[in-house]
């Protein structure tokens, strides 16, 4: 079910402001790809353009091509709602729906998309998704309690469960651990390892150790200069990036000389 | 290079005893009473003088024993409490007056009789109570969908567009419409549609809805704005269409606040007199049909009972107080219902 993503010559704008310029990359299927780079260099913006979440901001638009499974995401007759069903997203801050229980949160994607589920089917989707998100054992006795009652790390895993319950092809993660403590972070990193068996995962992170731990490939983004758009500096297998990167700038960033 | 000399800084200073404010209070009151009784002031004069003495006495004592900051603190604290008291006096006095004069009027006959064929004896307000409830219900049924959908447009679709700013401006203008103008508008509209002199319950409901819509729009808008964008994005990222996100995620999250806003709007219009006087008139009989015939309401009943009490003014004026009491109770019950509903519907934190 996992798909690879081909991006060619992508420019991303906020109204007239060019935020990210000329990105070309291939994100392999069933593998974890990490985006690193200093704040404001356009990693999150680029990530959001992969499932057409970028355009929910008024004035935001994109030029170039993003191909998933041979279909161009930005063709005129592509429905962004369909795209987002295939390419799920986990956000920086955990955002379970406050009016729903844990059970309803996991099913939200299906229920809100008008899927009629039998009680037994719904139960099995919830169990499968929560097990997939490593949360089942912690919450199986209180599925009807509000999702907001969980700890931050549990809430984030609930959001991951909610995202995988709709069985997307690709899972985008925008700094999923930045609001979490080390133990929850480690739980989520373990989860990412398991999820890559079935999903194509793209993760934005500020934590370079995390990128080194979880990803197969790493893309380094940087600003071309103050006030200039962000661009992709280098994309290589993670091992290579963290040992012998092609670019001077990557080396400087990873070794902590700037950024 | 000279070393910094650290002086011993005391962290304690003398404090007034805890009973100091009470003592000053008693002394001020005693002084004021002594003066007042000897000079023949009323109780209001005595209280005012006592407050002034207290306002000067406590800070001065504090300045002598404690320090400047403590004295200022005591002075300002006293001012704040006095202001609170002054603000509460009218409310307390109003409630006391309405309850003491109105509550004794309420009995079975008062609540179940109309004023039809009642002369020279006390009747009931059933016709006005039902009228008020029917007219307010009509106003709510018109205003809530219109107001809520306008608010949804403003927050979810219009955002910063020109149309949205224009609508916001017009809604603000609408908030300022004098209620009697709304009544005239409704009366004129129904005259145009159904011929001159059409005074019916629907016209009253329409007039009140003109006053209600802007309040509902603004309060619902504020509540929808409070829903974090994180939740909308979470829903969109699951592939949920925008309208469904609004219906199933945004509205439930904001529901408690919206209900409170609607209740406040109802409370605001339920006591309107002028527009109802014009748009649906007055009658002494029970009329449960808003589509035909004049319809009485509590504020209009109070108005006529006080201004035209007829041969035996005492009876109708007493009834007016009773009606005022019932009106306040109705508003309070609505508020209570809204609070309970808000509690039940509020997003659950699980703590």
Q: Flag whether B5 is in a domain.
A: no
B202 and B149 in a single domain? The answer is yes
Q: Flag whether B10 is in a domain.
A: no
Which residues have CB under 8 Å from A205's CB, separation 6+?
A: A34, A35, A36, A175, A177, A178, A211
Range of B88's domain? 20-104
Average confidence (pLDDT) over A230-256: 89
**Confidence (pLDDT) at A200:** 92
pLDDT digits (tens, 9 = 90+) for B281-327: 888 888 888 888 889 999 999 999 888 877 778 888 888 999 999 99
B142 and B27 in a single domain? The answer is no
- pLDDT tier, B3 (very low <50, low <70, confident <90, very high otherwise): low
- Tell which of B75, B104, B133 closes a domain: B104
B86 and B142 in a single domain? The answer is no
B294 and B266 in a single domain? The answer is yes
Structure tokens at A120: 């037994």
Taking the CA of residue B269 as centre, how many other CA atoms within 13 Å lie in the half-sphere pointing to its CB? 37
**B249 shares contact with chain A (CB less than 8 Å):** yes
Structure tokens at B55: 């306002």
Element containing residue A217 per DSSP (H, E): strand A217-223
**Confidence (pLDDT) at A167:** 86
**Confidence (pLDDT) at B350:** 52
Structure tokens at B239: 């592939």
Residue A58 has its nearest CB partner, among B159, B236, B241, at B159
Indicate yes or no: CB of B236 within 8 angstroms of CB of A53. yes
- Tell which of B46, B72, B104 closes a domain: B104
Q: Flag whether B2 is in a domain.
A: no
Contact assessment for residue A56 and residue A65, using Cβ atoms and an 8 Å cutoff: no
B193 and B262 in a single domain? The answer is yes
**Confidence (pLDDT) at B246:** 94
Q: Flag whether B276 is in a domain.
A: yes
**Confidence (pLDDT) at A180:** 80
Average confidence (pLDDT) over A238-251: 89
**Confidence (pLDDT) at B348:** 65
- pLDDT tier, B11 (very low <50, low <70, confident <90, very high otherwise): confident
- pLDDT tier, A106 (very low <50, low <70, confident <90, very high otherwise): very high
Asked if the ipTM is above 0.95, the reply is: no
- Domains in chain A: ranges and CATH: 5-254 (3.40.50.300)
Q: Flag whether B15 is in a domain.
A: no
Q: CATH code at B169?
A: 1.10.3720.10
Residue A95 has its nearest CB partner, among B160, B231, B240, at B231
- Tell which of B60, B84, B104 closes a domain: B104
B185 and B85 in a single domain? The answer is no
What does the alpha-carbon distance between residue A228 and residue A23 come to, in Å, rounded to a whole number? 14
Residues of B in contact with A108 (CB under 8 A): 235, 238, 240, 249
Q: A97 to each of A88, A130, A143, how far by Cα in Å?
A: 16, 16, 14
B150 and B239 in a single domain? The answer is yes
B77 and B126 in a single domain? The answer is no
Q: Please state the pTM of the whole predicted model.
A: 0.82
Residues of B in contact with A82 (CB under 8 A): 239
Average confidence (pLDDT) over A184-197: 87
Indicate yes or no: CB of A58 within 8 angstroms of CB of B236. no
Number of domains observed in the structure of chain B: 2
B250 and B210 in a single domain? The answer is yes
Average confidence (pLDDT) over B5-29: 85
Average confidence (pLDDT) over B99-110: 88
Indicate yes or no: CB of A163 within 8 angstroms of CB of B348. no
Q: Flag whether B168 is in a domain.
A: yes
A-B Cβ pairs (cutoff 8 Å, strict)? 93
Residues of A in contact with B244 (CB under 8 A): 112-113
Residues of B in contact with A88 (CB under 8 A): 237-238
Residue B350 has its nearest CB partner, among A81, A112, A145, at A145
pLDDT digits (tens, 9 = 90+) for B240-270: 999 999 999 999 999 988 998 999 899 989 9
Structure tokens at B86: 């002054």
Q: A188 to each of A171, A177, A212, B104, how far by Cα in Å?
A: 13, 8, 15, 68
Indicate yes or no: CB of B253 within 8 angstroms of CB of A98. yes
**Confidence (pLDDT) at B76:** 94
Q: Look up tokens 């009773």; give the residue.
A: B322
Residue A112 has its nearest CB partner, among B160, B232, B244, at B244
């Amino acid at each position: 079910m996992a798909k690879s993503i081909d991006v060619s010559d992508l420019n991303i704008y906020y109204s007239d402001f060019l935020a990210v310029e000329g990105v070309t990359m291939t994100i392999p299927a069933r593998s974890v790809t990490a985006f690193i780079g200093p704040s404001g260099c356009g990693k999150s913006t680029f990530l959001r353009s992969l499932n057409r979440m970028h355009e929910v901001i008024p004035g935001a638009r994109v030029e170039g091509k993003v191909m998933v499974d041979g279909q161009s995401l930005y063709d005129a007759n592509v429905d962004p709602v369909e795209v987002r069903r295939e390419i799920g997203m986990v956000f920086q801050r955990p955002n379970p729906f406050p009016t729903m229980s844990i059970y309803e949160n996991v099913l939200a994607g299906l229920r809100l998309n008008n899927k009629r589920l039998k009680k037994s089917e719904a139960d099995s989707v919830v169990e499968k998704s929560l097990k997939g998100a490593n949360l089942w054992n912690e919450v199986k006795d209180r599925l009807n309690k509000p999702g907001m009652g969980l700890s931050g790390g549990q809430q984030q895993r609930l959001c991951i469960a909610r995202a995988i319950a709709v069985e997307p092809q690709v899972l985008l993660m925008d700094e999923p651990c930045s609001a979490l403590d080390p133990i929850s972070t480690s739980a989520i990193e373990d989860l990412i390892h398991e999820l890559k068996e079935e999903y194509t995962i793209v993760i934005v992170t500020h934590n370079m150790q995390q990128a080194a731990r979880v990803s197969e490939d790493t893309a380094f983004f940087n600003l071309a200069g103050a006030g200039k758009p962000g661009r992709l500096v280098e994309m290589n297998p993670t091992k290579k990036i963290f040992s012998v990167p092609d670019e001077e700038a990557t080396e400087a960033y990873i070794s902590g000389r700037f950024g | 290079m000279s070393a910094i000399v650290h002086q011993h800084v005391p962290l304690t200073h003398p404090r007034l005893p805890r009973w100091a404010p009470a003592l000053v209070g008693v002394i001020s009151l005693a002084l004021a009473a002594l003066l007042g009784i000897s000079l023949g002031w009323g109780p209001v004069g005595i209280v005012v003088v006592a407050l002034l003495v207290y306002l000067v006495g406590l800070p001065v004592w504090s300045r002598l024993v404690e320090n400047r900051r403590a004295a200022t603190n005591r002075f300002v604290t006293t001012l704040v409490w006095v202001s609170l008291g002054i603000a509460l006096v009218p409310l307390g006095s109003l409630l006391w007056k309405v309850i003491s004069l109105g509550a004794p009027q309420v009995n079975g006959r008062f609540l179940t009789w109309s004023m039809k064929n009642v002369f020279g004896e006390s009747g009931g307000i059933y016709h006005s109570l039902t009228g008020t409830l029917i007219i307010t219900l009509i106003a709510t049924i018109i205003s809530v969908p219109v107001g809520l959908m306008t608010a949804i447009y403003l927050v979810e679709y219009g955002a910063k567009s020109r149309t949205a700013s224009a609508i916001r401006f017009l809604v603000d203008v609408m908030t300022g419409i004098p209620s009697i103008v709304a009544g005239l508008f409704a009366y004129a509209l129904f005259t145009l549609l159904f011929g001159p002199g059409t005074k019916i319950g629907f016209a009253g409901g329409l007039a009140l809805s003109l006053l209600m819509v802007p309040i509902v729009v603004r309060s619902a808008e504020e509540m929808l704005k409070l829903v974090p964008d994180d939740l909308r994005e979470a829903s969109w990222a699951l592939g949920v269409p925008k309208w469904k996100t609004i219906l199933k995620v945004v509205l439930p999250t904001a529901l408690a606040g919206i209900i409170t806003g609607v209740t406040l709007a109802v409370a605001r219009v339920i006591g309107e007199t002028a527009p109802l006087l014009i748009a649906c008139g007055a009658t002494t009989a029970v009329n449960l049909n808003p589509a035909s015939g004049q319809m009485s309401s509590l504020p209009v009943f109070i108005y006529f009972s006080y201004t035209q009490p007829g041969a035996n003014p005492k009876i109708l004026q007493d009834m007016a107080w009773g009606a005022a009491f019932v009106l306040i109770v109705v508003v309070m019950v609505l508020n209570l219902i809204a609070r309970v509903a808000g509690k039940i519907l509020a997003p659950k934190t699980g703590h």
